Amino acid sequence: MIAKGAAPVTRVLLLLLCALLSACASRGGPPPMAAVPPTQSAVPAKPPASMGDGPPLDAYDLANVVEPVPKNEALARYGNHSPYTVLGQTYRVMPSRTGYVERGLASWYGRKFHGRLTSTREPYDMLTLTAAHKSLPLPSFARVTNLSNGLSLVVRINDRGPFVSNRIIDLSYAAAVKLGVKQTGTAMVEVRVIEPGINPDLGPRAAFIMDAPVKPRRAAAVAPLAATMRPLGLPVNVIEPSIYLQVGAFSSRENADLQKRRLLSGSVFPAFVDQVVTASGPVHRVRVGPLQNVELVDEFSRDIEALGFESPQVVIQ
């Protein structure tokens, strides 16, 4: 029971409490993460595991996200253990990154991993130009070129992955946008390691010109990113390379033909055997292709593995 003389005080307290609750409700929860220049941290707390991967929930203007400058960094304390096993598959870290050049399929990763620790124990920031690789020493710098459109940029590799068959590199969201990979999900790329004083950077085959560059920010009041970027210096004829799946390689033509027959007995594949001459003699390669797109690469890879073959190697020529 409340004393009669205390009633006015109680009413005042109730009014103050209502006002406070109303103010909290009007905020609508915490504000969205604001992007900041690449030199600052834009990494939020670790998102819930149930959150699906994809682009940021807010659109960002990535005009001033600049390429990292390659430099000689010491090997990271974490992330270079070799061998290591993921999902039952064992991988080995290369003893040296010098001279590494590879063509293959790239994918990208985004908000599901934003804020989580990479293999080097650095927070993953999808708004910077980084990437993941299964076997290069960490960290490494590499120039990644989209072979379908000629776009090219430098990334800093500080994470492990992608642990999906037939992918050689996983790009950050920002790198995927700049290379035109975000729209397609995957792309044929060339990855070329850069080491100052050892492997000089060959420079981009193409570059983006950004109209009215500004600091990265939520792009609620700016034009779509595709409208604010245009490619510069594209080759006159960008010829999309052909994709093949290599199922085996043999010194004996007879063994290569035997594997080809075994391959064709299980399904209808555009399989063939070709020959290349190496320093140690001729090599007969069993290949499937050419394949028109990444979807066919994934479909044929699954079919080949279902026949009992090991995961085929993606070859881009």
Domain ranges of the chain: 84-232, 243-316
pLDDT tens-digit map of 121-158: 999 999 999 999 999 999 999 999 998 888 999 999 99
Q: Which CATH superfamily is domain 84-232 in?
A: RlpA-like domain (2.40.40.10)
Distances (CA, A) of 292 to 50, 105, 289: 34, 13, 8
Q: Which CATH superfamily is domain 243-316 in?
A: Sporulation related repeat (3.30.70.1070)
Q: What are the residue ranges of helices labelled H in the chain?
A: 7-27, 173-179, 225-228, 253-266, 294-306
- Residue 203 pLDDT > 80, yes or no? no
pLDDT tens-digit map of 44-97: 444 444 456 888 888 888 888 999 999 999 999 999 999 999 998 899 999 999
Q: H-helix or E-strand containing 171?
A: strand 169-172
Residue whose C-alpha is closest to residue 194's, from 82, 73, 112, 43: 73
- CB count, 10 Å around CB of 87? 6
pTM assigned to the model = 0.69
